[in-house]
Structure 1
């Protein structure tokens, strides 16, 4: 795998920073493999990219995250805006990609395929956190709000501890979720409030991601081959259930991957998944 070459692309209201590993176009004519997340940017995909030496691999930071700056005066992160950014990036890359989207990146990918299906040959949507497709959507949104309240009232450690509790719930959300939240110290998180309230995962600026309503008819009609995926260790958690519900709406079986929500990670954040097995599965489904 070649070292990534870093580029920037000016789009309306932002400058996107992206990394390319390999030639564009590829020598064999295959489209680049674009790996996207949200709120995670390119920094989380180094290990996964290294397992595709046969492909040109592209990663990027969404607008306002990581190295990508924004000049639109906005703070919120929406799948619709990010999908339009990706549409312009894909045009810069030659006009079509294979796409792997993780978490919020999977939600962005759903909107991209619904609106620009010609941009994507195959799309693997890994654990999109779509609360709207859950049968207990009202309780799920209430639980999400409780996480954001914990962050707003007590800071990052408390908010992240609440988020861990949220993502650990098995099955439908109880009506009393958040009545008692875990001590951040249990997870080795800080108990002191540093005063910041800018975390894109906890502050509410990414609420449009979990509130996104996918266009099922457009996705089913798209020329793109769409696969909805989830990690086996996530079974019965929120993102497994949202993935399974979306797969059912699209008339397909859920595509099961090894490991968990971050199963493709190496040592990027100190919580490695099973990147070798995960990459092998992604090779297989692509």
Structure 2
């Protein structure tokens, strides 16, 4: 069932498109894309921790991919009319949830597009990347979350890290970025996708990655997941945050892929 804090937003009309944001699930920055998509779809944006309503009003523990997937499944069940199915789009950590949803709750899903899900377990250098994520967590504990974010950005880009910039930007642990760094990043990047299940549903799966993020860590995972699952692969405008950076172009590309008017 959805978390007691979870929220969702519905706009537009047409086939249902469930949007699973990245980070800690906060939909900030997605308004431009969802408004464009709402011209063609009933856009349902899932906020699993209810962060769009403001800071957390109580403690929240380490998050689990399966819990967010179950919440998204329950939400679709409450919104979809009998006999209808939904499209799903997930970005970054939301892409990991989208893969879980297709793996475990596929019955009423029409097609799933997962954009740059950082599923590090599938990589040949997974141990090295898990060590990088562990260093991010340790940096957060010893030098603050601003420094941890600097370390993570270097890791995602594949750059060497020589320490945080001066001054280090402050990150509140109860803000969306703080929640992502302390409760989401480690368990989500360490989650192993169910490749046999995804292979069996490959016709309903497309992995996406930004044209500007080639060679970066999330782009690598998207390419490899497409190969391992047999799903399609499609390029998108921008980089890892292309849906925020180029909302209209990104939304049009997404809509074209879902409706079949554009090829992968």
Q: TM-score range by the shorter chain?
A: 0.7 to 0.9
Please show how residues 85-100 of structure 1 align to structure 2 within 5 Å: 85-94=71-80, 96-100=85-89
Alpha-carbon shift at residue 197 of structure 1 (Å)? 4.0
Please show how residues 25-36 of structure 1 align to structure 2 within 5 Å: 26=14, 31-36=15-20
Classify 1:161/1:50 alpha carbon distance in 2 versus 1 (closer, same or farther; 3 Å). Answer: same
Q: In the alignment, which residue of structure 2 is the partner of 1:165? A: 154
Higher normalized contact order (CA 8 Å, seq sep 6+, divided by chain length): 2
Classify 1:221/1:68 alpha carbon distance in 2 versus 1 (closer, same or farther; 3 Å). Answer: farther
- Give the 3-state SS of the residue equivalent to 2:53 in structure 1: coil
Alpha-carbon shift at residue 224 of structure 1 (Å)? 6.3
In 2, the alpha carbon distance for the partners of 1:159 and 1:128 equals 20
Q: 1:75 aligns with which of 61, 67, 71?
A: 61
Please show how residues 1-286 of structure 1 align to structure 2 within 5 Å: 11=1, 13-23=3-13, 26=14, 31-38=15-22, 39-52=24-37, 53-63=39-49, 65-67=51-53, 74-94=60-80, 96-169=85-158, 178=161, 180-185=162-167, 189-190=168-169, 196-198=172-174, 199-222=178-201, 225-265=204-244, 273-286=245-258
In 2, the alpha carbon distance for the partners of 1:275 and 1:254 equals 20
Figure out how many residues of one structure are paired with residues of the other and give that number: 250
Query: Is 1:22–1:57's contact at 8 Å kept on the other side of the alignment?
Result: yes
In 1, the alpha carbon distance for the partners of 2:140 and 2:207 equals 31
In 2, the alpha carbon distance for the partners of 1:181 and 1:117 equals 43
Runs of 5+ consecutive residues of structure 2 not aligned to the other structure: 259-264
- Give the 3-state SS of the residue equivalent to 2:240 in structure 1: coil
Runs (4+) of structure 1 exceeding 3 A deviation are 64-74
Runs of 5+ consecutive residues of structure 1 not aligned to the other structure: 1-10, 171-176, 266-272
Task: Return the index of the structure with the highest Cα Rg.
Answer: 1
Query: Is 1:152–1:197's contact at 8 Å kept on the other side of the alignment?
Result: no
Q: How big is the alpha-carbon RMSD for the aligned residues of Structure 1 and Structure 2?
A: 2.5
Classify 1:155/1:235 alpha carbon distance in 2 versus 1 (closer, same or farther; 3 Å). Answer: same
In 1, the alpha carbon distance for the partners of 2:164 and 2:2 equals 42
Q: Which moved more, 1:63-72 or 1:233-242?
A: 63-72
Instruction: Return the TM-score normalized by structure 1.
Output: 0.79
- Give the 3-state SS of the residue equivalent to 2:62 in structure 1: coil
**The structure with more helix, counted as a fraction of residues:** 2
